[in-house]
Amino acid sequence: MYSIDLTVPDAERTLVLNLGARWHQKYAVWYVPRTLNAQPLGRWLTARAFPNARSNSLWLARVLGTCPWCENSITLHGLILPAGHRTLCPADEPSEDVWEVAEEPSQLFEIEYLSDTLQAALEVHAPTYRLAYSPLLERFCWLNHCRHCRGLIEDDDCALDVGSPLNPLDESMAARIVLQEIRVEFEASCARYSCGVQFLEAMARTGT
Ligand SMILES: [Zn+2]
């Protein structure tokens, strides 16, 4: 099954067709073929309309890992929001949804949308972290890519399990992670979100 996550106004159909999007007759949805780079189609992603996290800054986490496909050493990236960011608490009625200020930092996983301001910063600081079709999740997500073989690395393989490179088991593992502060106001939509980040204080810091 293909990703079903583009919302396309009638007037822009030709434009998205030219960028590689396709119309699925049976399901009556616009989708992106999984072989295609989804980046140019980012503004039509349906997830864009449903942000669930907002912040004025973030920590871009970097750590060395091993590509599961070619076994070369690669840099992996993750996004950590400082305390004080806001998260959407959904109510029964969408009109009653509330944005709450988070008292703990949090790490975002299975990110489906990042606003343009942050995308521009990531193109510069984390070019191998980009939107791609996740065969595991069967939808588009921001994922790490290997700079050698271009293979993609699912969050499941580098960030979700405790003890994986972006989810340290102890302070010495955390010390291998370098955090770069990026001051930019942005919105995100993600499927998973941690309350608190383990060993954040043990991670190294660089300037912007
Ligand atoms: Zn590789």
pLDDT in tens, the chain (208 residues): 345 578 888 899 999 999 888 887 776 778 877 667 777 887 887 777 789 999 999 999 999 999 999 999 999 999 999 999 999 987 888 778 899 999 999 999 999 999 989 999 999 999 999 988 888 887 788 999 999 999 999 999 999 999 999 999 999 999 999 999 999 999 999 999 999 999 999 999 986 5
Measured CA to CA, the distance from residue 69 to residue 116 in angstroms comes to 30
Q: How far is the CA of 154 from the centre of ligand 1 (A)?
A: 13
Q: How far is the CA of 74 from the centre of ligand 1 (A)?
A: 8
Q: Cα 179 to chain center, whole Å?
A: 16
- 161-184 per-position pLDDT tens digit: 999 999 999 999 999 999 999 999
Q: How far is the CA of 208 from the centre of ligand 1 (A)?
A: 28
Q: How far is the CA of 73 from the centre of ligand 1 (A)?
A: 8
Q: How far is the CA of 110 from the centre of ligand 1 (A)?
A: 20
For strands 204-206 and 178-182, give the pairing: parallel
User: Which tokens in the block code for residue 24?
Assistant: 């699925």
pLDDT at 1: 34
Q: How far is the CA of 8 from the centre of ligand 1 (A)?
A: 34
Q: What is the percent of the chain where pLDDT is above 70?
A: 96
Q: Is the dihedral of CA 143, 168, 66, 176 positive or negative?
A: positive
Q: Taking the model in full, what pTM does it have?
A: 0.82
Q: How far is the CA of 60 from the centre of ligand 1 (A)?
A: 21
Any idea which residue has 């271009």 for tokens?
150
pLDDT at 4: 56
Measured CA to CA, the distance from residue 29 to residue 150 in angstroms comes to 28
Q: How far is the CA of 174 from the centre of ligand 1 (A)?
A: 23
Q: How far is the CA of 144 from the centre of ligand 1 (A)?
A: 11
Q: How far is the CA of 53 from the centre of ligand 1 (A)?
A: 31
Q: Distances in Å between the alpha carbon of 7 and those of 99, 130, 158?
A: 24, 20, 30
Measured CA to CA, the distance from residue 4 to residue 48 in angstroms comes to 13
Q: How far is the CA of 169 from the centre of ligand 1 (A)?
A: 24
